[in-house]
């Protein structure tokens, strides 16, 4: 496959690592379907995956993480399980696909840990950076699409989906911190992030996504 425009820091992995992030109800699922069609139309070889999860074992960790239950899950337990699932996902799925020159489209990655466990739960960002290096080495996304929208709008959309998982049951101020956490990450790494205003209509969000993909992913 020809060069998709990957980051030279991921020198061992010639594919392109594209992650999609956002708070609750930001429309990640809807946008990922759109991105997947965009890639297919351009004959770009890609895999679609998600976090937490993406392998059978990591999906079992996901179930543990999201199931509501009576026992309070300690913040550090939540963080370490996110990274345990990620370690499995990276070794079994992400690295092999990138090494084969494929584009990896992941619904969430480590920015979610910085936003939810860091900004949301208040865990140390330094500890998070240490885990990031330990688990990922040099591997970082080539591009991160952040679907940003006011928390009330996202929560209103998400509330139409039925039963809430353990993390979705958090209060509004938690999600306000999550949003701020994502925006702070984007501010720190403007070369990696593309922020799209996800409060627009689905059609307008898709126009904006197509524009950034056209700019960032080599497809000709
Ligand atoms: N998590 C994850 C961490 O805490 N740390 C980590 O390190 C990681 C990796 C699971 C949870 O895990 C946490 C974060 C999460 O709480 P998830 O499965 O990605 O992560 O969970 P959700 O955020 O709940 O993702 P969803 O896929 O369920 O929601 P989406 O994709 O954001 O929303 P979507 O596309 O389903 O849209 C919601 C509704 O809005 C409508 C859609 O039709 C749908 O009904 N919609 C729009 N309506 C109007 N205008 C638009 N532009 C719209 N776009 C979508």
CATH number at residue 68: 3.40.50.300
Instruction: Assess if residue 11 is contained within a domain.
Output: no
Residue 134 has a CB neighbour count (10 Å cut-off) of 10
Q: How would you class 37 by CB atoms within 10 Å of its CB: exposed for 0-12, middle for 13-18, buried for 19 or more?
A: exposed
* Measured distance CA(27)–CA(154) in Å, rounded: 8
Instruction: Assess if residue 9 is contained within a domain.
Output: no
What strand order describes the sheet that includes 103-107? Answer: 46-50, 103-107, 16-22, 143-148, 193-197
191 lines ligand 1 (CB under 6 A): no
Q: What pLDDT does residue 2 have?
A: 52
Instruction: Assess if residue 178 is contained within a domain.
Output: yes
In ligand 1, the atom with minimum distance to the C-alpha of 23 is: 23
Instruction: Assess if residue 42 is contained within a domain.
Output: yes
Q: What pLDDT does residue 219 have?
A: 80
User: How many domains are there within the chain?
Assistant: 1
Q: What pLDDT does residue 8 have?
A: 59
Token look-up 């865990």 returns: 123
Instruction: Assess if residue 157 is contained within a domain.
Output: yes
Mean pLDDT by 10 residues, the chain (220 residues): 69 90 95 98 97 98 96 97 98 97 98 98 98 97 98 89 86 96 98 98 98 92
Q: What pLDDT does residue 5 have?
A: 81
Q: What is the DSSP letter of 167?
A: T
In ligand 1, the atom with minimum distance to the C-alpha of 160 is: 45
Instruction: Assess if residue 90 is contained within a domain.
Output: yes
What is the residue range of 37's domain?
A: 16-216
Q: What pLDDT does residue 46 have?
A: 98
Instruction: Assess if residue 104 is contained within a domain.
Output: yes
Instruction: Assess if residue 152 is contained within a domain.
Output: yes
Structure tokens that stand for 23 in this block: 């708070």
202 lines ligand 1 (CB under 6 A): yes
Instruction: Determine the residue of 158, 181, 198 to mutate for testing ligand 1's pocket, defined as the one with the most ligand atoms within 8 A of the Cβ atom.
Output: 158
Token look-up 């956490």 returns: 181
Token look-up 């209509």 returns: 201
Q: What is the pTM of this model?
A: 0.96
CA 182 to ligand 1 center in whole angstroms: 14
């Amino acid at each position: 496959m020809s060069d998709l425009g990957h980051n030279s820091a991921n020198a061992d992995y010639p594919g392109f690592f594209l992650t999609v992030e956002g708070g609750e109800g930001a429309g990640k699922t809807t946008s990922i379907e759109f991105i997947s069609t965009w890639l297919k139309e351009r004959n770009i070889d890609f895999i679609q995956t998600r976090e937490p999860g993406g392998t059978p074992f990591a999906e079992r960790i996901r179930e543990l993480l999201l199931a509501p239950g009576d026992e309070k899950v300690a913040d550090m337990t939540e963080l370490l399980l996110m990274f345990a699932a990620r370690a499995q996902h990276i070794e079994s799925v992400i690295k092999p696909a990138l090494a084969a020159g494929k584009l990896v489209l992941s619904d969430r990655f480590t920015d979610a840990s910085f936003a939810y466990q860091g900004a949301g739960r208040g865990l140390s960002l330094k500890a998070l950076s240490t885990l990031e290096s330990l688990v990922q080495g040099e591997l970082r996304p080539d591009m991160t699409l952040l679907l940003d929208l006011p928390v009330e709008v996202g929560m209103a959309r998400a509330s139409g989906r039925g039963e809430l998982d353990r993390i979705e049951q958090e209060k509004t101020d938690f999600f306000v911190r999550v949003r701020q956490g994502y925006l702070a990450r984007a501010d720190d790494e403007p070369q990696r992030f593309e922020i799209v205003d996800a409060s627009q209509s689905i059609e307008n969000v898709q126009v904006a996504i197509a524009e950034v993909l056209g700019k960032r992913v080599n497809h000709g």
